[in-house]
Amino acid sequence: MNSKIGYLIAIALLLVAPLLIYPVFLMKLLCFALFASAFNLILGYGGLLSFGHAAFFGGAAYVTGHAIKVWGLPTELGILVGAGAACVLGFLIGLLAIRRQGIYFAMITLAMAQMVYFLFISADFTGGENGLQGVPRGTALGMIDLQNNLNMYYFVLAIFAIGYFIIARAVNSPFGQVLSAIRDNEARATSLGYDVDRYKLLAFVLSATLAGLAGATKTVVFQLASLTDAHWHMSGEVVLMTLLGGLGTIAGPAVGAGIIITLQNYLASGPLGAWVPVVLGVIFVICVLAFRRGVVGELRELMRKSF
């Protein structure tokens, strides 16, 4: 009940927000909130630290940009193609990565993503260092002009809502329960007869696909895809967003993304512009040392204690 009211308030806020806040900034926030929420599926619920999610985010960004700009696909279809590409990439990298656990899993995903990054640098269709620019926003459903920032915002909000709904459903389904069981005790899950690897792979692919959805949407908003999207710093940032917001909480990653994006935006225009990586690093260190539950996790703990 409580969470229902929370959701209603959140929806109401999101609907009126663009009237008060710059819509492009809000769209960026939504894209990263979706990205972090998708990432949380594999780290928070699956217990697997992927350090290579930028490959899916960036891969989908490029494919969508190419599909819309060069192939001339309609915007919605372009985004779906991008997410589909992330799905395939997630399957390939996932197959390799789930062969090892824990720290090795992190290093393998990182290394594979770095390989993908190098491929993007030298591939022709990405435009290398220049990025893939001038992607037209097009129209939604063939009639709503997305060049208008407000229209674009509600389009992005709809995609975010769909993605978020899928994640929330997945987490609360039997699939999500098994995933958490694997995270907590893999051996026990195996002995209960679950095909652990298949669940992990499925979670990884789902996470990759939704991360791709976020990246694809981001391309349409900013009308470009660039190497930044695929760089390992991006992988690190999404870990930070999730960690800061709260691992394994459904709303946490979105909150974390909100904080980080706002902070980056705020710092970039101020005198501390050059210190952004340092500030992010410091937040990382503080989170790990003293704040492992994250914002939402701590709030929840506070509520639990006081009621």
Q: Give me the residues that bind other proteins (CB under 8 A), please.
A: 22, 24-25, 28, 49, 51, 96, 99-100, 102-104, 106-108, 110-112, 114-115, 118-119, 121-122, 127-131, 133-134, 149, 218, 222-224, 226, 228-229, 232, 236, 239-240, 243, 268-269, 273-278, 280-285, 287-289, 292
Between 22 and 165, CB nearer to other proteins: 22
Minimum CB distance to other proteins, residue 205 (Å): 17
The Cα 208–Cα 214 span in angstroms is: 10
Minimum CB distance to other proteins, residue 47 (Å): 8
The Cα 194–Cα 60 span in angstroms is: 31
Q: What token pair was written down for 298?
A: 């701590």
Minimum CB distance to other proteins, residue 12 (Å): 24
Between 1 and 187, CB nearer to other proteins: 187
Minimum CB distance to other proteins, residue 117 (Å): 9
Minimum CB distance to other proteins, residue 166 (Å): 25
Which phi and psi angles does 73 have, rounded to 5°?
A: -70, 155
- What would the DSSP string read from start to end of 97-127? HTTS-HHHHHHHHHHHHHHHHHHHHH-TTTT
Minimum CB distance to other proteins, residue 273 (Å): 4
The Cα 108–Cα 128 span in angstroms is: 24
What is the four-CA torsion angle of 221, 222, 223, 226, rounded to 10 degrees? -130
Between 19 and 289, CB nearer to other proteins: 289
Between 7 and 22, CB nearer to other proteins: 22
Write the CB contacts of 87 (distance below 8 Å, at least 6 apart in sequence).
205, 208, 209, 212
The Cα 31–Cα 254 span in angstroms is: 9
3 state SS of 147: coil
Between 171 and 229, CB nearer to other proteins: 229
Q: How many residues does the chain have?
A: 307
Between 3 and 147, CB nearer to other proteins: 147
Four-residue CA torsion sign, 175, 200, 254, 218:
negative
- CA atoms within 13 Å, Cβ hemisphere of 33: 24
Q: What token pair was written down for 37?
A: 């929420």
Between 198 and 292, CB nearer to other proteins: 292
Minimum CB distance to other proteins, residue 163 (Å): 20
Q: What token pair was written down for 225?
A: 């895809």
